[in-house]
Amino acid sequence: MKITNLTKVKKTRMEMEGAKNTWKQVPLSRNDGSPNFSFRVFTIEPDGHTPYHSHPFEHLNYVIEGRGALVMEAGETRPVVKGDFVLVLPEEKHQYRNADSSKPLVIICAVPKDYE
> Per-residue contact track with a second copy, 76 to 95, x per CB under 8 A?
--x-xx-xxxxxxxx-x-x-
Cβ neighbours of residue 92 closer than 8 Å, sequence gap 6 or more = 54, 72, 73
Min CB(35)–a second copy separation in Å: 5
Measured from the CB atom, the residue of 11 and 85 that comes closer to a second copy is 85
**Beta bridge pairs of residue 12:** 24
The vertex-7 CA angle with 86 and 108, nearest 5°, equals 10
28 binds a second copy (CB under 8 A): yes
Expressed in angstroms, the distance from the first to the final Cα of the chain is 19
| Residue ranges that bind a second copy, judged by CB under 8 A | 1-7, 9, 27-28, 32-37, 39, 57-58, 60, 62, 64, 70, 72, 78, 80-81, 83-90, 92, 94, 108, 110, 112
